[in-house]
Amino acid sequence: MNAQQHAARTGGSVIRPSIFRKPAVIAVIVAAVSIATMLVVNHTNLVIDRRAPQTPPGTTFNTVNNVGGSVTPTLPESAIKPTPPGPKPVEPAIPTK
pLDDT single digits (tens) 24-65 = 888 999 999 999 888 888 666 666 666 767 767 777 877 888
CB 64 within 8 A of CB 70: yes
Q: Is the pLDDT of residue 9 over 70?
A: no
Stretch 7-32: mean pLDDT: 73
Beta carbons of 16 and 4 less than 8 angstroms apart: no
Domain assignments of the chain as residue spans, ordered by start = 20-52
Distances from the Cα of 54 to the Cαs of 59, 64, 71, 86, in angstroms? 11, 15, 15, 47
Considering the entire predicted model, what is its pTM? 0.30
Please, how many CA atoms are within 13 Å of residue 87, restricted to the half-sphere of its CB? 3
| Per-residue pLDDT at 85 exceeds 60 | yes
Question: How far is Cα 68 from Cα 34, in angstroms, rounded to an integer?
Answer: 52
User: Confidence class of residue 76 from pLDDT cuts 50, 70 and 90?
Assistant: confident
Considering the chain, what percentage of its residues have pLDDT values greater than 90? Answer: 9
Decide: 3 and 15 in contact? Cβ < 8 Å.
yes
